[in-house]
Amino acid sequence: MSLMDDDRPQKKTAHEIGSDLSMLSVDELKARVELLKTEIARLEAEATKKASGRIAAESLFRS
């Protein structure tokens, strides 16, 4: 590995559901948990946004 490799941007941590976790350190596991928590919050926010839009559209057509 050369010094030039250290200057490259590091790949963003990703998590694949069902992947082998045995080789990860405690810090890596905690980082993945935080990554997944952030993603869950993003998914829930989008679901709420879409549900609100659907409810507004349904009420518009019911009037």
Q: Could you tell me if residue 1 is inside a domain?
A: no
Q: Could you tell me if residue 35 is inside a domain?
A: yes
Q: Could you tell me if residue 54 is inside a domain?
A: yes
- Average pLDDT, rounded, for the chain: 84
Q: Could you tell me if residue 2 is inside a domain?
A: no
Total domains in the chain come to: 1
Q: Is the model more confident about 16 or about 44?
A: 44
pTM higher than 0.85 for the full model? no
Q: Could you tell me if residue 33 is inside a domain?
A: yes
Give CA–CA dist 21/15, Å, rounded.
Answer: 10
Whether 20 shows a pLDDT value over 90: the answer reads yes
Residue type, 20: D
Query: Of 18, 22, 48, 16, which is closest to residue 35 (Cα–Cα)?
Result: 16
Judge whether 16 and 32 are in contact, CB under 8 Å. Answer: no
Give CA–CA dist 14/31, Å, rounded.
Answer: 10
Give CA–CA dist 24/15, Å, rounded.
Answer: 11
Domain that holds residue 62: 25-63
Give CA–CA dist 3/30, Å, rounded.
Answer: 29
Q: Could you tell me if residue 9 is inside a domain?
A: no
Model pLDDT for residues 22-51, shown as the tens digit of each residue: 999 999 999 999 999 999 999 999 999 999
